[in-house]
Amino acid sequence: MINTDKNHKHTYDAQGKMTCCTQEEKIYTRAGAKELVNEKHQHDHSDDDGHDHSHSDSSPIQLFLPSIISLILLLVAIAFDNWLPQQWFTGWVRIIWYIVAYAPVGFPVLTDAVKSIRKGEIFSEFFLMGIATIGAFTIGEYPEGVAVMLFYAVGEVFQTMAISRAKANIKSLLDQRPDEVTVLRNNQPETVKAETVDIGEIIQLKPGEKLGLDGELLSETASFNTAALTGESKPDTKAKGETVLAGMINLNTVAQVQVTTAYTDSKLSKILELVQNATSQKAPTELFIRKFAKIYTPIVVFLAIAICLVPYFFVADYEFKDWLYRALVFLVISCPCALVISIPLGYFGGIGAASRNGILFKGSNFLDALSNMQNVVMDKTGTMTEGVFKVQEVVFDKAFNQDEILQLVNVLESHSTHPVATAIHEYVGKPDNTIRLENTEEIAGHGLKSTVNGKDLLVGNFKLMNKFGIQYDLDPNSIVYTTIAVAYDNRFVGYITIADSIKEDAQKTITLLHKLNVKATMLSGDKSTVVKYVAEQLGIDNAFGDLLPEDKVNRVKEIKAKGESVAFVGDGVNDAPVVALSDVGIAMGGLGSDATIETADVVIQDDKPSKIPVAINIGKQTKKIVWQNITLAFVVKGIVLVLGAGGLATMWEAVFADVGVALLAILNAVRIQRMKF
């Protein structure tokens, strides 16, 4: 299973199933923990605080219906009280009317308050809202009691809608699996639910169909559209025995795939679960606010009691009803809704925005860490370069026919499986089968030797040239790229350079990092001249080649010794020691390896390095919005609390200080989901 944090521990039941932080994505809101239930467990309608979130996928009309009913009844009652007096609208009839108006929005909150108390959480927001509104009823302030709870309910709906939107962003990006698949049983195709398919069964995939589970290709070849998983638009052709992943779309012929992984354990499922559980890893700001709310809430309750009772001993014309009203106003104002809603919602929105951009965060703590990042240390191959070798240049003596020699080299290299051979085949084309080679041999550490038309053909490094006494007039060390030397008929023909091409957006990546005041360093085990050349091309600040894994660790330690934060970008497997040492580990191509998903803190889904500065920017914007909300809540509440204690603020100002500020904070938090990065 996925470890969502380097130091995070999971617990397992007797069957080995994870019992913590995997079945539900948690977002702490208001004064208690509210959990958004994973779609796989929709039947469990209530969460730990007793609050019902089964309606999160309901339509806006359904969500707002209780509030609409309450609002209509409240407006009619206010009209009867002030503008259209009715003789019958007095006494118990009037009280019952306001109680009926209160019930649709108040009853769920009172129920949650009782459940919280049973669990030992007495000073929850539900308790605060309950005693404040019931208190308003006891002193005859019925309209205000209903209005406070009504605005509170509206805030709840906006919160639910905002979270649902963030969930939808994540789900639409990641959950690319079809619900049903065609399985061959007794040699007959049968359509079944994807989650019921066992490991070892064979899926028949028609052109245009999407694969539902991870498996191994049984057909000789098949081409797949992997855009939904990697962002790569060109088809990916797989050969028999190769791994194919859930979410890939078959393009041309009917293909057969043997299932190797259960539906819930596919890489796509794991990443979907990873992001949904990301909010269990709290940012320091969130942790502080949660601790703050636990201390703050009981204090304001006792202060409210003091405001109500203490003046009896000091005020000559003490009126219990007046001071109770002040206490209730104080209680409503003090509810920490805006803080404990908007902060986790802001981080959850940041995770959703990142997912929409193909960046998977394992926790909001990593959003915070990236927002203050000073150094990005990156691997070269597969991170800033494509990881696929290509011919860069062919430098042959003009005395030789370049095309002829290339064909000879191409045929000879067909005897090798080295990546260099693949690069030459791609450059020259299909080998000419009419060319006959004799006495072909591979000389370990040097290259290939063969005879063509009675003449020796040598293809390899310059050590091979030296071995056979071939004279050449150049310094091999002056050539930046990997070099293939060619000799024919005992004469030096020239050389071919092979290099891993730089990714299209690599230059843009470094430019954006510098704009964010982030330094870039490249660490690689590749040839130093190659590493420095790539670094110069891209404008990378520092570059070091010929490094072993332990050398990379030492380089990162040197940066951290300066007191600077470090994010390491690599494949998350070979560079595991550096990933563990860095403040944030970022993996490229998360779908390619389970180990990558396990090790890294952030996974860039489509292998584009330009997503690194995007991730940092999302972290910065998320933190900015969170602190805007904190400032707004403290300033407004502080002002109105003082006014309320002095009797200068009514219940309506209290409603604004509580629910109004909470709504503003929610709307501000939602902004990050609409931002373009």
- Please give the Cα distance from 113 to 186 (Å, whole number): 57
Cα 317 to Cα 63, 275, 326, distances in angstroms: 47, 60, 15
Query: Which residues touch 413 (CB under 8 Å, ≥6 apart)?
Result: 420, 421, 424, 425, 448, 459
CATH number at residue 528: 3.40.50.1000
CB 630 within 8 A of CB 123: no
Is 60 part of a structural domain of the chain? Answer: no
Same domain, 610 and 509: yes
Element (H, E) at 236: strand 236-239
The alpha carbons of the chain give a radius of gyration, in whole angstroms, of: 33
Is 584 part of a structural domain of the chain? Answer: yes
- Please give the Cα distance from 406 to 602 (Å, whole number): 44
- Please give the Cα distance from 176 to 210 (Å, whole number): 8
- Please give the Cα distance from 496 to 405 (Å, whole number): 11
Same domain, 490 and 525: no
φ, ψ of residue 444 to 5 degrees: the values are -55, 130
pLDDT number for residue 286: 59
Same domain, 529 and 474: no
Cα 432 to Cα 256, 411, 429, 437, distances in angstroms: 33, 7, 9, 11
Distance of CA 316 to the CA centre of its chain: 61
CATH number at residue 218: 2.70.150.10
Q: Which of 236, 265, 294 is the last residue of a domain?
A: 265
Is 107 part of a structural domain of the chain? Answer: no
Q: Which amino acid is at 391?
A: V
pTM of the predicted protein model:
0.63
Residue 184, classed as helix, strand or coil, is: strand
**HSE (side-chain half, CA atoms, 13 Å) at 266:** 30
Is 470 part of a structural domain of the chain? Answer: yes
Query: Which residues touch 592 (CB under 8 Å, ≥6 apart)?
Result: none
Q: Which of 616, 644, 661 is the last residue of a domain?
A: 616
CATH number at residue 455: 3.40.1110.10
Same domain, 378 and 512: yes
Best CA proximity match to 66, nearest among 6, 22, 106, 21 = 106
- Please give the Cα distance from 343 to 330 (Å, whole number): 23
Residue 593, classed as helix, strand or coil, is: coil
DSSP states of 334-354: H--HHHHHHHHHHHHHHHHHH
**Token code pair at residue 176:** 């690319």
Is 364 part of a structural domain of the chain? Answer: yes
Residue 155, classed as helix, strand or coil, is: helix
Same domain, 381 and 508: yes
- Please give the Cα distance from 257 to 224 (Å, whole number): 12
Q: Which amino acid is at 324?
A: L
What's the structural domain count of the chain? 3
Same domain, 497 and 594: no
Same domain, 559 and 466: no
- Please give the Cα distance from 484 to 79 (Å, whole number): 91
Q: Which amino acid is at 644?
A: G
pLDDT digits (tens, 9 = 90+) for 273-311: 655 555 455 556 656 666 666 777 788 788 888 888 898
**Token code pair at residue 613:** 């500065």
DSSP states of 465-533: HHHTT----S-GGG--SEEEEEEETTEEEEEEEEEEEEPTTHHHHHHHHHHTT-EEEEE-SS-HHHHHH
Q: Which amino acid is at 239?
A: A
Same domain, 462 and 558: no
Best CA proximity match to 117, nearest among 32, 53, 52, 44 = 32
Is 376 part of a structural domain of the chain? Answer: yes
Q: How far apart are the first and last CA of the chain?
A: 31
Neighbouring CB atoms inside 10 A of 159's CB total 24
- Please give the Cα distance from 525 to 377 (Å, whole number): 14
**Low-confidence stretches of the chain (pLDDT beneath 50):** 1-56, 231, 279, 592
- Please give the Cα distance from 576 to 584 (Å, whole number): 12
Place of tokens 């994870």: 18
pLDDT number for residue 282: 55
Question: Nearest 10 degrees: CA dihedral of 477, 483, 489, 493?
Answer: -80
Same domain, 445 and 518: no
**From edge to edge, which strands make up the β-sheet containing 359-361?**
359-361, 602-604, 584-588, 566-570, 375-378, 519-523, 542-544
Same domain, 546 and 523: yes
Distance of CA 91 to the CA centre of its chain: 57
Question: Nearest 10 degrees: CA dihedral of 321, 322, 325, 330?
Answer: -140
Same domain, 239 and 224: yes
pLDDT number for residue 97: 93
* Residue 379 falls in the annotated catalytic set: yes
CB 324 within 8 A of CB 308: yes
**Token code pair at residue 102:** 């209160």
DSSP states of 15-71: TS-B-SSSSEEEEEETTEEEEEE-GGGTT--B-TT--B-GGGGS-HHHHHHHHHHHH
- Please give the Cα distance from 585 to 268 (Å, whole number): 20
49, 112, 214, 379: the catalytic one is 379
- Please give the Cα distance from 284 to 57 (Å, whole number): 30
Same domain, 474 and 571: no
- Please give the Cα distance from 626 to 345 (Å, whole number): 9
Burial class (CB in 10 A: 0-12, 13-18, 19+), 479: middle
Q: Which of 233, 265, 297 is the last residue of a domain?
A: 265
Is 437 part of a structural domain of the chain? Answer: yes
pLDDT number for residue 99: 93
Is 44 part of a structural domain of the chain? Answer: no
Reported for 45-48, long-range contacts at CB under 8 A and 24+ positions apart, including other chains, are 48/119
φ, ψ of residue 202 to 5 degrees: the values are -110, 125
φ, ψ of residue 656 to 5 degrees: the values are -65, -45
Domain that residue 235 falls in? 180-265
